[in-house]
Each structure stands twice: as C-alpha cells, then as structure tokens.
Amino acid sequence: MSAGETHPRILLVTGSTRGGSTNTAALRSVADPGGRAVTELFEGLADLPAFNPDDDRDPLPASVEALRCQMGSAAGVLFCSPEYAGALPGSFKNLLDWMVGGGGLYGKPVAWINVAGPGRAAAADQSLAVVLGYLGAEVVEAACRHVVVPRDAVGADGLIRDEALRADLAEAMRAFVDHIASGSDALDPGRSP
C-alpha cells in the first residue's frame, strides 16, 4: 500500500461459544493477513442478551452497542460458525438478529469459512446465506471456503499449527482482502484520489 492509505479492518466473527472451538481457532489463525489488512476478533458473542425488539432502541445494551460499532466500522466481516441441529447456533443467530436494526451489514462485504468435516454443516452455509441476504450484506463468494479443521488440530493456545490448514485459511483471507482492496475507493468515499 502506498503512503497515506490505511489498512482495511476486517472483523472476525465466530459462531461458537465453546472453549477450544475449531471455528474460533480458524479465525485466530487467519488473524494476520500479511500486513494488507488489520483484523479484530469479536469476543462478545456470549455477552449478547436474547434479542428483543423492545430493547432495540437507545440506549442499547452495551454489548449490542459494541457489536454494532465493530461491525459498522469494519471494511468487511469474516464469519466462521458451526452447525447446530441443522441450522446456525442459536447464540450466533441471536447476534445476527441484533444486526437487523441499525443496518450495519447493509452493503458490507462478508465471507465465511466452514470448518466442519466433509459433507457436514451444509445447512449452516445455507442458513447464513439466507440471513445475510435479509441483512443486505454483499457475500464475497470467491472468499468463502470449506477448510476441514479437526478438533485435534487446535493447540492449547487456541491456534492451528498445521501448515497446510493455515495455508488454506490464509488463502481465503487473501481472496477476501483482494476483494475489499478492489472496492476500497467505494468503501472510503472520503479518501483523496
């Protein structure tokens, strides 16, 4: 990037609340996209209250305010969620329900990585596509990937060490950053030409 340009900030959002989560580990392991973007892991999934339209007004619950602020200011959002009972986990759907108000994902580039085993969790992808469609997000298909992450690939530090897996995850992030960089003028209308 040339002088004066800022790195796009990508928010990483896991759909799992589990310690040792393969989904969270995948996101932690793509957290350094080679100096072309900065990343931030959203850590407040379990802190969000159950969505209630009556509470979707100022002052918002602090955890919801933080979510909307981080999503709204990100240049893109990368999701990684397990499938529970043939759909998205309730806690993750709850997060997405809170994003309907405020419109923070409208027109926002988003992608997802699915880390489930072969042939599994297709319904999670489909559910996420439907919900993101309602939210008006721009799904970057070229950056969406299936990268199987077995539980024993996650180290005690919550990171994936396997180089082949890390390379596949990094490739997804590279495709996502490429897309965001190609539209950066549109994403940052205040930037000088």
Ligand X SMILES: Cc1cc2nc3c(=O)[nH]c(=O)nc-3n(C[C@H](O)[C@H](O)[C@H](O)COP(=O)(O)O)c2cc1C
* Residues near ligand X (CB under 6 A): 16, 18, 21-23, 82-86, 116, 120-121
Q: Which CB atom, from 82 or from 109, has the smaller least distance to ligand X? A: 82
Q: Which CB atom, from 147 or from 177, has the smaller least distance to ligand X? A: 147
Residues 6+ apart with CB under 8 A from 112: 78, 79, 80, 81, 125, 128, 144
User: How far apart are CB 151 and ligand X at their closest, in Å?
Assistant: 6
User: How far apart are CB 3 and ligand X at their closest, in Å?
Assistant: 40
The span from the first CA to the last CA of the chain, in angstroms, equals 14
The CA-based dihedral angle spanning residues 164, 110, 112, 132, taken in that order and rounded to the nearest 10 degrees: -170
Instruction: Yes or no: say if 57 and 188 are a contact pair by the CB < 8 Å rule.
Output: no
User: How far apart are CB 68 and ligand X at their closest, in Å?
Assistant: 24
Q: Which CB atom, from 45 or from 110, has the smaller least distance to ligand X? A: 45
Q: Which CB atom, from 18 or from 161, has the smaller least distance to ligand X? A: 18
User: How far apart are CB 49 and ligand X at their closest, in Å?
Assistant: 21
Q: Which CB atom, from 24 or from 39, has the smaller least distance to ligand X? A: 24
User: How far apart are CB 33 and ligand X at their closest, in Å?
Assistant: 21
